[in-house]
Structure 1
Amino acid sequence: MSVRVSIYQLFVRHFSNTREQQVVDGTIEQNGCGKFAEITEKALREIQSMGFTHIWFTGVLEQASSTCYPGIEADEAVLMKGKAGSPYAIRDYFDVCADYAVDPENRIEEFSDLLDRCHELGIKTLIDFVPNHVARSYHSDIQPDLNFGESDDVGRFFAWNNNFFYLAGDGVMELPGGEFSGEGAGRVTGNNAATWQPSLSDWYETVKLNYGHDYTTGRDTHCLPEAEAHLDEVPDTWVKMDAILSYWQELGVDGFRCDMAHMVPMEFWAWVIRRARLRDSHCYFMAEAYDGDPAKLTHENVLESLLKQGFDTVYDGDSYELVKEVVEHGRGVTELDALLWAPDRLNRMLRYAENHDEVRLASRHHWRGQGASLGKVVMAFLTGVGPSPYMLYNGQEVGECGDGVEGFAGDDGRSSIFDYGHLPRLAKWVNEWHYDGGKLAVEEHALRAWYVEWCQLLQEPAFARGGVYGLNSANMENSTYRAGGEAIAQSVYAFVRHDRESDEAFLVVLNFSEAACGDEIEVWLPEGLGVWMDAELAPRVLLGGLEGYGVAVVQLTL
């Protein structure tokens, strides 16, 4: 069987935290925190049994935090977003977050043990690589010789070998939470805000790293070194970033989810990915990137450019947004056909229905407030129409809604990454670390069972490597092919996945309406489908009724 890359996003802070009583903006003592040691072999086996090949351990690196430990001081409150802090405000690239260790002084060893548990089961491991910015308080205790900025010419906004960008003069940074005049005050924020008064919407808790290109001059980075350049031929930031990746590879990490990869020069990616793969030829690189961001550092389509630099996969934010618009704004589902004719989107782009940046499918504030059952049809489309890698965010499989105020993040339909908290529904599946779903409600059990079945199906040859054939255009006049009286273009979407090598084929029918379809649905199979599959097919397939937000899968007899 061809193995399809499938990634389970596991946010360590949330995953195994079962503390039921939660305090808004609470401390770690009040609200609890997940631990490396609690991600047991049983937990890993349960994730693997769904068909997942990789686990992305989110938020592992030491971050700015209001919690102190022996040898680790708490950050100033003015530099923080939430009590726990942003996992993307990295304070030490060579260390892990002490919150996640049973014995904080033994935190690296506890993380290494977790990697060993994964590898013993054959699970590949990913962690975050955050190349665009660091916390204002960045200082490595593990590798102080590789600290950023210590040899910078701070009198210049930009210098090729500087690690940071510097604001003119000696001022006081007026942050949303108050004034800050400590070391690193006069530096550009992570989102390119060159100001002494960043706003609440700016990444004010972080400072931007310099890769030898002045971002204020535009996107032309062609003068930067080429992929084969030696260490003494590249900017200092490149050297330090390569050392960071090497450190984690040596510890046993199999790959990296690269944060906001489009804000870093493409030349750097070609260089650093080449070096990482000289150390491990299978090192996996996944990019978070958005072509529509004006901060991107390429004139080309950034998604295509990152794939050319060596990334294995890149976030498919456009497909996610299109499906969300279809659901929220009533656009016809036939518009989804556009995704079938983009080879890179089908074969290489990372598909997801949730992640830590996006809203929960079950949130009452989003996705028309339709609840967790809607997630099935969204997930089935995004992951079903092509063989590309896909990702599931912990809690999605049991219908986490992300609603309610946890602290800094407010009530935004997301599970807060800034605050100490837990995932109420996932905690019921964790069930005091039995990982057996012992506390789940009936409907939560059923939802998770569907996700298990669907994710296992995605490893079948037809879904793991096969082609796709859309059927909506052939069913425009089909009177049985509608939900709640709506026309086909508004409700039902169908496609066939077929693998020539195994001659395996599946018909998938999705109901994007909350209304059920009729007692029987006929799906017409056009002659062109038979030609495409080189097979003789019946002219139609008869299905029973399809519930609201229902997913039907039929294996075709060839």
Structure 2
Amino acid sequence: MVQEPGWVRHAVWWHVYPLGFTGAERAATGQVTHRLGQVEAWLDYAVELGASGLLLGPVFASETHGYDTVDHFRIDPRLGVREDFDRLVEGAHRRGLRVLLDGVFNHVGRGFAAFAEGPSPEWFHVTGEGYEHFEGHAHLPTLNHGSGVVRDHVVEVMCHWLSAGVDGWRLDAAYAVPRGFWAEVLGRVRARFPEAYLVGEVIHGDYAAFVAETGVHSVTQYELWKAVWSSLNDRNLFELAWALGRHGEFLDSFVPLTFVGNHDVTRIASQVDPALVPHALVVLFTTGGTPAVYYGDEQGFRGVKEDREGGDDAVRPPFPAEGPSGLAPWGAPVLRLHQDLIGLRRRHPWLHRARTEAVELSNTGVVLVTEAEGQRLAAVLNIGDETARFRVHGDLLLGDAHVSGGAVQVGPRGWAVLG
């Protein structure tokens, strides 16, 4: 396994999908509109949230949603130009925020030069019937990852933007790319930028083997994401306990990127009973991992992802162009909860690689004890409709509970964190 950069131990990402965040047009227009300044206007908000990094969705020239790249070296004109991007990165760094870019290197858009002019078999898998494309999407031709030209291109793109000051890459659809391709490309990138953080999008499969064989530092922890909302909805905390056991095994070799929402999934406030959103957040911020908060989740935004054209729009909405003053006041309690939990997380950096064990467990109640480096926290979750009593020692740090004599009493659908 490749050891992640030391700074990642303290990372908490605020994940922004720029094309949606700024209200950009659905398709490229050819006109330049300087919208990245809208993202820059929210950097102080990200700091106040408690984030230490900005995880950006696609920012490169594309045809529609950003994952159909046509030029990896040019900022999408709907977002602005290179100078706008440089100001955003400089502004983030000035505030102590790292910047992670979204690299789409499995496929490109049909307007990508080597495809529009050909397509070239040096760049693409050309067949007698046409060309290979990504998961049935003909507008996303798959790159030929066996080609030295493609490998050199991806290395050049990644190093170009790392030279421009970014701190790492999220590798989109990394699971669809041959692992040997990543091993060579990322080895070359790390040789030049050893402090760059490299995380792959992986949904199913053997996470640890993928990390070992590709050279990424981390992968997206979809197993835990699913278990969090599913266990809360089904009143089956045994599922959560099982997933946390698996999570601990991953932590033996790498630190997963953890989340309860992102640009591809239904928002947590729509996925579970709103009264149980705090329980999902407690799990996110008190267990091992590198947590990411998807923009709007910290305001209690709702949105359901649908399997249709435009089905992502509800989870990729614009934020107020005027900045935080344009937010509705009803999101304030959810924001405060995020700030409290992120603050707890950042005061306890040992949580990054900590293991969590369910020491008291029923369908609707659990005590999750998280330990590392001689430190300990206990998260108590009650998703039932009655007050529950748990045997656990500690001082109340967050939540609403009565603690006395080695026990804690938590109200219906209540929670607490003890230290």
When normalised by structure 1's length, the TM-score is 0.64
CA drift of 1:331 comes to 5.2
In 2, the alpha carbon distance for the partners of 1:398 and 1:269 equals 36
CA contact (8 A) 1:262 1:302 kept: no
CA contact (8 A) 2:60 2:73 kept: yes
CA 3–303 in structure 1, closer or farther in 2 if over 3 Å, else same = closer
Number of the residue aligned with 2:411: 546
**Deviation digits for residues 451-490 of structure 1, max 9, x if unmatched?**
11111111232534444342225xxxxxxxxxxxxxxx22
Secondary structure class of the residue paired with 2:126: coil
In 2, the alpha carbon distance for the partners of 1:450 and 1:351 equals 18
CA contact (8 A) 1:333 1:491 kept: yes
Task: Note if 1:207 corresponds to 2:141.
Answer: yes
CA 465–262 in structure 1, closer or farther in 2 if over 3 Å, else same = closer
Task: Note if 1:402 corresponds to 2:315.
Answer: no
Number of the residue aligned with 1:57: 56
Number of the residue aligned with 2:112: 138
In 2, the alpha carbon distance for the partners of 1:339 and 1:304 equals 18
CA contact (8 A) 1:266 1:306 kept: no
Structure 2's unaligned 5+ residue stretches are 1-6, 394-403
Number of the residue aligned with 1:508: 379
CA 344–51 in structure 1, closer or farther in 2 if over 3 Å, else same = farther
Number of the residue aligned with 1:313: 218
CA drift of 1:150 comes to 6.6
Among residues 312, 315, 340, which one is paired with 1:415 in the alignment? Answer: 315
In 2, the alpha carbon distance for the partners of 1:35 and 1:279 equals 31
CA contact (8 A) 1:3 1:459 kept: no
Number of the residue aligned with 1:125: 99
Moved over 4 A (4+): 25-29, 147-154
Task: Note if 1:452 corresponds to 2:339.
Answer: yes
Higher strand fraction (1 or 2): 2
Task: Note if 1:236 corresponds to 2:149.
Answer: yes
Number of aligned residue pairs: give it: 397
CA contact (8 A) 1:398 1:445 kept: yes
Task: Note if 1:392 corresponds to 2:293.
Answer: yes
Higher helix fraction (1 or 2): 2
**Deviation digits for residues 36-69 of structure 1, max 9, x if unmatched?**
11233x62132123332221111211111xxxxx
CA 151–274 in structure 1, closer or farther in 2 if over 3 Å, else same = farther
CA contact (8 A) 2:17 2:57 kept: yes
Number of the residue aligned with 1:108: 82
Q: CA RMSD in A?
A: 3.2
Q: Percent identity?
A: 21
In 1, the alpha carbon distance for the partners of 2:53 and 2:327 equals 27
Secondary structure class of the residue paired with 2:133: coil
Look at both structures and tell me which one has the larger radius of gyration over its CA atoms: 1
**Deviation digits for residues 294-332 of structure 1, max 9, x if unmatched?**
xxxxxxx2542224432121011112222333234x252
CA contact (8 A) 2:260 2:280 kept: yes
Number of the residue aligned with 1:491: 364
CA 133–27 in structure 1, closer or farther in 2 if over 3 Å, else same = closer
**Deviation digits for residues 404-440 of structure 1, max 9, x if unmatched?**
99x9424x79424xxxxx34xx53xx7x22x25x642
In 1, the alpha carbon distance for the partners of 2:379 and 2:204 equals 30
Number of the residue aligned with 2:269: 362
CA drift of 1:341 comes to 3.0
CA drift of 1:151 comes to 8.8
Task: Note if 1:332 corresponds to 2:236.
Answer: yes
Task: Note if 1:187 corresponds to 2:131.
Answer: yes
CA 331–308 in structure 1, closer or farther in 2 if over 3 Å, else same = farther
When normalised by structure 2's length, the TM-score is 0.84
In structure 2, give the amino acid aligned to 1:269: W
In 1, the alpha carbon distance for the partners of 2:222 and 2:151 equals 27
Among residues 171, 176, 196, which one is paired with 1:263 in the alignment? Answer: 176
Secondary structure class of the residue paired with 2:418: strand
Map 1:529-540 → 2, pairs under 5 A? 540=406
CA drift of 1:382 comes to 3.5
In 1, the alpha carbon distance for the partners of 2:263 and 2:95 equals 26
In structure 2, give the amino acid aligned to 1:5: A
In 2, the alpha carbon distance for the partners of 1:240 and 1:5 equals 29
CA contact (8 A) 1:2 1:459 kept: no
CA drift of 1:441 comes to 2.8
Secondary structure class of the residue paired with 2:47: helix
CA drift of 1:335 comes to 2.7
CA 53–344 in structure 1, closer or farther in 2 if over 3 Å, else same = farther
CA contact (8 A) 2:27 2:65 kept: no
In 1, the alpha carbon distance for the partners of 2:213 and 2:405 equals 42
CA contact (8 A) 2:207 2:250 kept: no
CA drift of 1:246 comes to 1.6
CA 304–384 in structure 1, closer or farther in 2 if over 3 Å, else same = farther
CA 376–542 in structure 1, closer or farther in 2 if over 3 Å, else same = closer
In structure 2, give the amino acid aligned to 1:100: L
Structure 1's unaligned 5+ residue stretches are 20-24, 65-84, 102-106, 140-146, 155-161, 170-185, 192-201, 213-233, 293-300, 417-421, 474-488, 527-537
CA drift of 1:260 comes to 1.0
Among residues 8, 11, 14, which one is paired with 1:5 in the alignment? Answer: 11
Secondary structure class of the residue paired with 1:98: coil
In 1, the alpha carbon distance for the partners of 2:165 and 2:300 equals 32
Number of the residue aligned with 1:144: none
CA 408–291 in structure 1, closer or farther in 2 if over 3 Å, else same = closer
